[in-house]
Amino acid sequence: MVFSSLLFLFRFLPIAFLVYYICPQKLKNLAILIFSLFFYSWGEPRYFPIMIASILVDYLVGLGIGRFGENRRLKKLFLACSVVFNLGMLAFFKYSDFLLSNLNNLLGTSIPLLGLTLPIGISFYTFQTMSYSIDVYRGKVQPEHNIIDFGAFVTLFPQLIAGPIVKYSDVSRELKSRKITMDQVQDGIEDFVLGLGKKVLIANNIGALWTDVQALGFGGISTPLAWLGILAYHFQIYFDFSGYSLMAIGLGKMLGFQFPKNFDFPYISKSFTEFWRRWHMTLGSWFREYLYIPLGGNRVSAPRWYFNMFVVWFCTGFWHGADWNFILWGLFFLGFLLLEKKFLLSRLEKSQVFSRIYVLFFLCISWALFSVTDLTQLGVLLAKMFSFTGGSDWLYYLRNYLVTFVLGAVLSTPVIYTRYVKVKTKLPAIRFVVVGVILVSSVAYLVDASYNPFLYFRF
């Protein structure tokens, strides 16, 4: 069950950080482990054993690979145990009903669906623990012998449920020795509040429009309102996910960790090649390092390269959800990336305006594919977007959401952020005023509002 609101965080964090800061250095990882397990169990208590199993399996796999490092066959066996366990668990909980329903449709059978609830964050932490085992196998990192330290890595509550995907190599040194300075805590608080503002004040507000459009039904709305709804989702998913990632990075700093950046203003991209260097950067890095390169990358024959690209983007789409629309979404990007690789990229780089219009236009279409899981309704929405159906229904929503649209558009670029960074270094008081206003506004919104979805919790 997804947390109904962020108010739980505000009840949980003060106690967790107070205990963490007063703990001696050697007990800090234990504190992280205990509070992280409590945080996870609050949302999904029945899946607590799965989290414990994830810790134990990859911890023992790492020890086994380290112990039998000279025996290649045993090393592969241990690695296979990690891959089979992690992917098997992910497949069972996330994809079993998808596979069963498609099997029923194909064969005309009536195998009952399992109806399993997806454990929160399973797509993220299974990738994290599996990457640890792979890195130990490759000799990139040493096996972790302290199960408390390893458990703290797996369960780190700031990024446990929605990323960014943090590899063991990203935090291995900090797990053993880290210093927490007041400047680091102050930066962490600032990142957390800015991320909270992105999620609560922009994503939640603009997301309500998309919810209204869905409630109206795609068949009964005008073409302008269909585009307005998709544009709302375009901003909602970015500020929702990038906001949570920034909150996680901020909390990580407050604990003494430097988590990798997950977003770098992707909506200013001039190509989809650039977009995927800026969007969900830790996922793209994971697939590149643990799937694309092992398949051979681009140092293969042309047919094999096409196959490698197909596998990566099929998996990228399927990772996001167990429905055909997510697979179509991944293959949609594959098509554009192949076109750009072959001839389009050089042309796009020559234009500052057309290239960005090209990305934003087709990106909105991609979000239509992403947001609607029912393929019939997806067809209705796409038809409505290009049928040029008139109507004045969109004017009401544009008037109500115009300010949020403008804010979303401006804050999707680095213009305001760049100026803010310059000002806060010269006038520190500005920093406290901005952060304070955002925090008070966000908390006030959370207290009054009932609409508070976290889109990436379901992945």
pLDDT at residue 175 is higher than 60: yes
| 308, HSE (Cβ side, Cα atoms, 13 Å) | 19
User: From CA 64, how far away is CA 82, in angstroms rounded?
Assistant: 11
pLDDT at residue 3, rounded to an integer: 42
Residue 160 scores a pLDDT above 90:
no
Q: What pLDDT was estimated at residue 454?
A: 60
Q: What is the reported pLDDT for 39?
A: 82
| Greater model confidence, 349 or 65 | 65
- 111 and 104 Cβ atoms separated by less than 8 Å: yes
Q: For residue 156, give the 3-state DSSP assignment.
A: coil
Quick one: pLDDT at residue 453? 64
Distance from C-alpha of 246 to C-alpha of 280, rounded to nearest angstrom: 12
pLDDT recorded at residue 92: 94
Q: How many CA atoms lie within 13 A of 67 on its CB side?
A: 11
Min mean pLDDT across 48-52, 89-93, 409-413, 420-424 is at 420-424
- In tens, the pLDDT along 47-93 reads 889 889 999 999 999 999 999 878 889 999 999 999 999 999 999 99
Residues 73, 310: Cα–Cα separation, whole Å: 30
> What is the C-alpha separation between 352 and 349, in angstroms, rounded?
7
**pLDDT class of 352 with cuts at 50, 70, 90:** confident
Q: What is the pLDDT of residue 263?
A: 96
Hey, what amino acid is at 73? R
Active site residue 145: no
Token digits for 369? 């594919």
Q: Which residue has the higher pLDDT, 109 or 13?
A: 109
Compare 1 and 208 and report the one with higher pLDDT. Answer: 208
Tens-place pLDDT, residues 203-232 = 999 999 999 999 999 999 999 999 999 999
Measured between alpha carbons, how far is 44 from 118 in angstroms, rounded to an integer? 10
| Alpha-carbon span 74 to 81, nearest angstrom | 11
**pLDDT score of 281:** 95
Tokens encoding 421: 């960074």
Spell out the alpha helix ranges (H) of 256-392: 272-278, 281-287, 293-295, 302-320, 324-339, 345-348, 354-371, 375-385
pTM for the predicted model, two decimal places:
0.92
What is the pLDDT averaged over residues 349-372?
94
The amino acid sitting at 408 is G
Q: What DSSP character marks residue 413? A: S
Could you tell me if 161 and 120 are in contact, meaning their C-beta atoms sit under 8 angstroms apart?
A: yes
Q: What is the pLDDT of residue 1?
A: 38
- Compute the average pLDDT of residues 362-383: 96
Choose, from 145, 234, 280, 320, the residue flagged as catalytic.
320
Q: Average pLDDT of the chain?
A: 90
Which of residues 390 and 140 earns the better pLDDT score? 140
> Residue 100 burial (CB < 10 Å; 0-12/13-18/19+)?
middle
- Give yes or no for residue 167 having a pLDDT over 70: yes
Task: Tell me which of 444 and 459 has the higher pLDDT.
Answer: 444
Residues 273-279: contacts with CB under 8 Å, at least 24 apart = 273/337, 273/340, 273/341, 273/345, 275/359, 275/363, 276/333, 276/337
Q: Can you tell me the mean pLDDT for 273-286?
A: 96
Mean pLDDT of 347-367: 93
CA distances from 35 to 99, 119, 147 (A): 36, 18, 16
